[in-house]
Structures are given as structure tokens and as C-alpha cells.
Structure 1
Amino acid sequence: MKLPTSHFQSAVNAKATIIFAHGAGADKSSDFLANVAEQLVSDGFNVLRFNFPYMDKRLEDGKRRPPDRMPKLVECLAQVIADVDKSLPLFLMGKSMGGRVAATIAKNSDDSIRGVICLGYPFHPQKQPDKLRLEPLQVIDKPVLIVQGDRDSLGSKDEIENYQLSNLCRLYFLPDGDHDLKPRVKSGYTHQQHLNSAIKQINRFIYEYS
């Protein structure tokens, strides 16, 4: 497998490196990933964003494709990890599906990976609450930060409180946030406020485990 299309942003006097994986429907250059990455770079972290193979193909020919199956997604992330400079503490981060891939691969990773960060973890497919995707978060042996919207349709706060997850998982809920961490106007919060809150949690997590 050739190396996927990637974008590396270097911070001044970087304290850690973050590999940031995209979700099922949006590529590495989506507004969400770009916004979060820029804030983290300004906070002193290197950020590497990349596309999974199916997304590169989608961008090449314009045809919509479903995500590759998990083994291929894991293989791609493993290649990105193998190719990255590990002179700084390394963290895996993902939006939705990307977080699931990161949590899946972390179980079999070496000590170079300090922790996993999931932004809107897909605990189950939309409108399929019985089809749970908990295993990566039950068997993982690395610290995990999950930043989740209260009303995420792929795993709300009420649902998650009934799940059995590893004690290494730390959950942070954003009031009225959806799967993109976005609140409704009537909540009194803005999307940017929630993204800023997520960034603060990520900073604390990385400093704790670097």
C-alpha cells in the first residue's frame, strides 16, 4: 500500500505530534479537521492529517465510495504511524470513524503511542443503537479521551452512561452537541465555543500523558 495523501503542520517548539484521522464522509481537508488542527498547532503540537485510501480514490474520480473495511483502515493508519517521526510523544486522534480506527490499532501498538483522542466516537450506526462498536474501547491498553456531544446520534450521553468501557477511557460531554460537537442555537452555546472546549481537553490530556 502506498502512503496516503497527507498534510503535516509543524508547530514552533512542538511538544508532541498528533496523527489526525478523518471520519467516514469528509476528507483530511474538511473544515472541522482544519479548524481543530490549526488550533492545536498554535498550541504547540505538530499535526499530521491524512486520507484513507477510499477517500483518495473518491477525490480522484468524484465517485462516492463507502469506507474501506476496518482491516484496511487499520493497515493504512499503521503505515502512517510507521512513517512518522517519533522523536516527540505521539498521539492518535480521530473524528468519528477515524477515532474508532485509532482506538482499534492502539491495542496492538508499541509504547511510542501515548494515547488516543476520539472526537465524536461512533458508538453505533445512526438509528441502530443495538449495533454497538464498543470492543476497541473495552480492550484498549492506552489512555483514551472521548469528547462527545450530549445528543450525538451515534452515541448520546444517556446511552453511553450504560456502556461498559475500559477504565482508561475518559469521557467529556459537550452540552447539546451533535456528532460534529455542534450545539443548537437555542442552547446558548456556539460551535466554536465547543471546539475550544474540546481543544482545552485535548491539551490537558496530552500534557498528562506526554
Structure 2
Amino acid sequence: MTDNLLLAEPGNPPLATLLLAHGAGAPMDSPFMEQLSAALCERGIRVVRFEFPYMAARREDGRKRPPNPLPALQQCLREQAASMSGPWLVGGKSMGGRVASLLVDELGVLGLVCYGYPFHPPGKPEKTRTAHLEALATPALVVQGTRDPFGRPEEVSGYRLADSLQVHWLESGDHDFKPLKASGRTQALLIEEAAEATLAFVQGVISKS
């Protein structure tokens, strides 16, 4: 770990770099973020992880805090983005993906990748967080479990989303890509599928850039 950054470097020159933000409740080195970063790195994608101020403070003193106000989260991401170079994308898990999606057109990156996008709070489908996604100009990929309480297929299919945004559904996955045991699949398999979908997306945006 360097300051509040974690790097996952492929063995060969990377296709591109993904600046990846964590979700509201788990840090940049959570098991999910570790597994996802490793799977992306194996596919030639360099991953840069960082922590928002509230999570960095929790790491120092162990006290849980709510996320910073949205403007502070956005400013933190802008500051991280300022140090990026070469072909790169931005994205995040849940809340981190939402913050990235609000800035992506401003940042001028190759693309946006969100893992478990919070289309609405659980149990409150009427409180959508999709208005800015209707006019998104940057190519975007959302990787979402079909059982995700933040947005299931039957809900997302009814949203007006930009043509630049595509959704890859992970069958039986929840918000952390954990499937039902009856599905015969595992979280590890769904994370690998998410990484494979990301690779295809990255290759696609690079070919068009």
C-alpha cells in the first residue's frame, strides 16, 4: 500500500488502467475488491484503488463513519484522476461507481465500469439514481447481479438509459456477486465473469478510441 493507494500491475504492459473506487461500507482492500482487482490484473488491466477520506480516517483510528457528502467524494475522485496517465478508465463498486458515473464525462476517460450500481436504495425503487445516466456520453458498463436489491433486471429494463451504457447481468448474483447455492455457481466464478465482461468492454473502447 502506498499512502492510500493499492496497485495491481499485470506482468506485461497493461491494456489500460482502471481507477477503481470502493463502496460505502467496505475499504479498498476488502475481499471483494482484492478478488476483482486480481481477476482484472490477470486479464491485462492495471488497477489503481484508493480510499475516500472517511474510509481513510477509519483505517487510522478504527472508528466507523458514514460516507463523506457527495461533493467531497467527487473532489477526492477528481484529485486521484489528476495523477492518471495513459489510456485509462474510471469506475467503482456500488457507491464508488455512482461517484465515478457523475464525473466520467467531465474526466474525459475511455470508459466507465460500475460493479453493482446502486440504481435505487434497497426497498425504495421509486428513489432512482439514474437521471444523469440518461445523457451519459462516455461508453459505460454496469456489471450487476440479477438478485441485486439496488437494481434488478425487471427494474433496470424500465429505465431510460443512454445508448452508451450497457448492462452485463450476472445470473443469481446479489450486490456482492454472491449467487444462490442452488445455482451451482460461486462468487469467485461471478467475479471472474465480471472481469471477463470488463476485458471485452475495455478492448471495445480501445478499438474505437
Report matched runs for 1:1-210 at 5 Å.
5-11=4-10, 12-84=12-84, 86-87=85-86, 89-110=87-108, 113-210=109-206
How far apart are 1:46 and its partner, in Å? Answer: 1.2
Q: Output the amino acid matched with 2:132.
A: P
Residues 138 and 164, structure 1, Cα contact 8 Å, conserved in 2: yes
Residues 4 and 52, structure 1, Cα contact 8 Å, conserved in 2: no
Q: Distance in 2 between matches of 1:195 and 1:202?
A: 10
Structure-2-length-normalised TM-score:
0.94
How far apart are 1:151 and its partner, in Å? Answer: 1.2
Q: Distance in 2 between matches of 1:109 and 1:83?
A: 12
User: Helix, strand or coil for the counterpart of 1:107?
Assistant: helix
**Runs of at least 5 residues in structure 1 that lack an aligned partner in the other structure:** none
Q: Output the amino acid matched with 1:65.
A: R
Residues 144 and 175, structure 2, Cα contact 8 Å, conserved in 1: yes
User: Helix, strand or coil for the counterpart of 2:133?
Assistant: helix
Q: Distance in 2 between matches of 1:4 and 1:163?
A: 39
How far apart are 1:139 and its partner, in Å? Answer: 2.4
User: Helix, strand or coil for the counterpart of 1:186?
Assistant: helix
Residues 107 and 139, structure 1, Cα contact 8 Å, conserved in 2: no
Deviates more, 1:25-34 or 1:188-197: 188-197
Q: Which runs of 4+ in 1 moved over 4 A?
A: none
Q: Output the amino acid matched with 1:10.
A: E
TM-superposition CA deviations, 1:121-158 (whole Å, max 9, x none)? 00011221111100231222101101111110111111
How far apart are 1:38 and its partner, in Å? Answer: 1.0
Residues 145 and 177, structure 2, Cα contact 8 Å, conserved in 1: yes
How far apart are 1:4 and its partner, in Å? Answer: 6.8
Alignment identity in percent? 37
Cα distance 1:171–1:139, how it changes in 2: closer, same or farther (>3 A)? Answer: same
Paired residues, number: 204
**Runs of at least 5 residues in structure 2 that lack an aligned partner in the other structure:** none
Q: Distance in 2 between matches of 1:158 and 1:178?
A: 15
Q: Output the amino acid matched with 1:170.
A: Q
Q: Distance in 2 between matches of 1:139 and 1:62?
A: 40
Q: Distance in 1 between matches of 2:157 and 2:135?
A: 18
How far apart are 1:107 and its partner, in Å? Answer: 2.2
Cα distance 1:72–1:4, how it changes in 2: closer, same or farther (>3 A)? Answer: farther
Deviates more, 1:8-17 or 1:20-29: 8-17
Q: Distance in 1 between matches of 2:65 and 2:192?
A: 32
Residues 39 and 191, structure 2, Cα contact 8 Å, conserved in 1: no
Q: Distance in 2 between matches of 1:131 and 1:69?
A: 18
Q: Output the amino acid matched with 1:123.
A: F
How far apart are 1:56 and its partner, in Å? Answer: 0.6
